[in-house]
Amino acid sequence: MNKNKNIVSFISFVICIIFLLSAMFYNPRWKKSGVHATISWDVSGYYIYLPALFIYKDIKKVSFKNDIHNQYQNSSHPYQTRTYKNGNEVAKYSCGLALQYLPFFLIADNLAKPLGYKRDGYSLPYQVAIHWGSLLIAIIGLYFARKNLLEYFYDKVVAITLLLLTLGTNYLNYASIDSPMTHNYLFFIYSVLIWTSIQFYKNPTWKKSIIIGLLVGLAALTRPTEIMIVLIPVFWGLPILSSSSIKDFCIHILDVIKKRILFLLKHYPKIVLSVIITVIIGSLQLIYWKYVGGSFLIYSYEEDQFLQWWNPFLKKGLFSFQKGWLIYTPLMFFALIGIGMMLFKKHSLAFIVSVYSFLFIYVTFSWNIWWYGGSLGQRPMVQAYALLIFPLAFFIQWVIQNKKRAIPFAIISSIFIYYNIWLHHQAHEGKMLDPSYMTKAYFWRILGKWEQDKNDLKLLDTHEYFKGKRKNINRIYFNNFEKDTIIQNCDNIKIINGKNSFCIEAKKNEVGKFEIPLNATKGKWIRVGGQFRIINKEWNLWSIPKIIIRFHSENKILKQNYIRLHRLLDYNSTQEIFFDTEFPQQNFDKIDVLFWTGNTKYPTLLDDLYIEIFE
């Protein structure tokens, strides 16, 4: 490609950095506390090696963990390590990211006390150092991504690709707001590895082989499944040749593979060195496991978290409204189209890009927790963008060659960018995006909104939502609990109305079952509502108290529906909550309303319970 100044893509690169900085200051995690701080949730799990080793000198017992959790509340519970069978605490996550944090940690560790902060690994200097250091990693990764693209595409194409990557995908979040996560560091590793692989095949040197070994080892040490990154330096630039028959195609493929093998054998001492370095880097985790747990191999994740190779969640991972990659990052459709175009055109990168991309997607969505917890879209796909930007650029190059294609593309891309920025806002400040359990009904209800209506949150639990004006309303039940002699009020929660309110007690599975004879002769919908009050809010999804309505026929449950109450309640305030359910198609003779509290620690107060039927 044109090796002149490439000024357009450089300007684009600078603009991208400005957007990363803007996003980071929009939600400055290093200034926040609790679960919103930089060193919180999974980051605190990857990071825990450093304070354990350098500050507390306690890599085996990690006895500081509970005190730090109590002081900083950086996760729902201190899950960063698990007690192993020998009594020691084994870190849940591998140590590769801690190794990459190390320079930034050491800066903070030397400045904490002189600046008047605690040298505890979690005070402000550590938060700042890890976050700003991670931004530096993002900038370097993006810099190499630009260099890689310029090897194959013109300046203007590279400029557009960088802008779309940054503004139109969840890369924006994981290179700025959540930059300390693994995905930003892996994007950096991928980008530098691709650049080094390109240069290695031009001029194989010892230095490049050392860098390749370091990067492959570091990727695997960060996330073990990333060991497949080794395919990039092995198969980079391996062409797919055109042929007139299957026989000729096979001959060409064998010839290409033969040439690659001969090249690698010619430089086998350098290849061996790369392998040795990769093994040395990867063995750091084995050494840690042996030292702490007494075994070279330890499965440190929960027993119910595993790779399900035989039945991957491809459809859900790609298209689910809960967390589908292409639902929340639709701009990457262009990259997938680009892969097909590269294969059709027999581009020199078609083989590695197509094989690696589809292998990566398969492995990513073989994880049984395929939605990967709380995140903006599919976060494990972010590191793969370092490779997927090549087919994205190929598609863009084809588009801009014709104005008839360029104008619709510009319009669609602008919509995707707007959508992406809206998603980023709702994932952080807007709070409308559920980080783990979005539903189709809720997605379509909130799409494009900037102001939250709390009633919409009901659609995270039920797809039924009455719209329009209710007709023929008939209140069939009302209870203000004033005449109930067995009412027990909640301790420390002010009564809502009158002398009594009903306490939905904590730590009881079912509370307050209210049965009403009813048939489907009148009405089509039923509404259950009342006044509710809480002092403390339950955040654990599976422990949030539910209000449940059930339809019965001869003591058989025909249908049930529920909503989670604490989604809709604010601290220390009384609010009316209701939810609507459509009658089942079958005939029923009774309904009941009950409250399920799970294992929550927090009681909920109820008053003025009512049930209405309507059309």
**For the whole model, what pTM was predicted?**
0.94
Give the chain's domain count: 2
What pLDDT score was predicted for residue 105? 98
User: How much is the average pLDDT of 226-249?
Assistant: 83
CATH number of the domain residue 590 falls in? 2.60.120.260
Flag the least confident range among 147-156, 262-271, 444-453, 536-545.
Answer: 536-545
**What is the Cα–Cα distance from 83 to 503, expressed in whole angstroms?**
37
| Both structure tokens of 469 | 């004006």
The residue with greater pLDDT, 343 or 239, is 343
Q: Would you say 361 and 326 are in contact if contact means Cβ atoms under 8 Å apart?
A: no
**What is the Cα–Cα distance from 78 to 70, expressed in whole angstroms?**
9
What pLDDT score was predicted for residue 116? 98
Grade residue 491 by pLDDT with cuts at 50, 70 and 90.
confident
**What is the Cα–Cα distance from 450 to 431, expressed in whole angstroms?**
10
What pLDDT score was predicted for residue 488? 65
**What is the Cα–Cα distance from 96 to 216, expressed in whole angstroms?**
11
Q: Give tens-digit pLDDT for 393-414.
A: 999 999 999 999 999 999 999 9
What pLDDT score was predicted for residue 256? 79
User: What angle, rounded to 10 degrees, do the helices at 206-222 and 96-111 form?
Assistant: 90
Q: Do 406 and 481 fall into the same domain?
A: no
**What is the Cα–Cα distance from 11 to 7, expressed in whole angstroms?**
6
**What is the Cα–Cα distance from 543 to 597, expressed in whole angstroms?**
7
Query: What range defines the domain where residue 411 resides?
Result: 7-427
Grade residue 251 by pLDDT with cuts at 50, 70 and 90.
confident
End-to-end CA distance of the chain: 67
Whether residue 125 lies inside any domain: the answer is yes
Q: Where are the alpha helices (DSSP H) in 439-517?
A: 440-446
Whether residue 336 lies inside any domain: the answer is yes
- What is the chain's mean pLDDT, rounded? 93
What pLDDT score was predicted for residue 2? 52
Q: Do 330 and 197 fall into the same domain?
A: yes
User: What angle, rounded to 10 degrees, do the helices at 268-293 and 246-266 form?
Assistant: 80
Grade residue 4 by pLDDT with cuts at 50, 70 and 90.
low
Grade residue 239 by pLDDT with cuts at 50, 70 and 90.
confident
Contacts of 26 (CB under 8 A, 6+ apart): 177, 428, 429
Q: Do 142 and 21 fall into the same domain?
A: yes
> Is residue 117 pLDDT above 90, yes or no?
yes
Q: Do 480 and 379 fall into the same domain?
A: no
Whether residue 461 lies inside any domain: the answer is no
| Listed residues 427, 454, 486: the one ending a domain | 427
Q: Do 264 and 132 fall into the same domain?
A: yes
- Tabulate helix, strand, coil % of the chain (nearest 5): 50, 15, 35
Q: Would you say 477 and 526 are in contact if contact means Cβ atoms under 8 Å apart?
A: no
Flag the least confident range among 105-114, 452-461, 480-489.
Answer: 480-489
What pLDDT score was predicted for residue 247? 74
Q: Would you say 119 and 51 are in contact if contact means Cβ atoms under 8 Å apart?
A: no
| Both structure tokens of 547 | 């209000």
> Is residue 557 pLDDT above 70, yes or no?
yes
Contacts of 599 (CB under 8 A, 6+ apart): 507, 543
Q: Do 395 and 502 fall into the same domain?
A: no
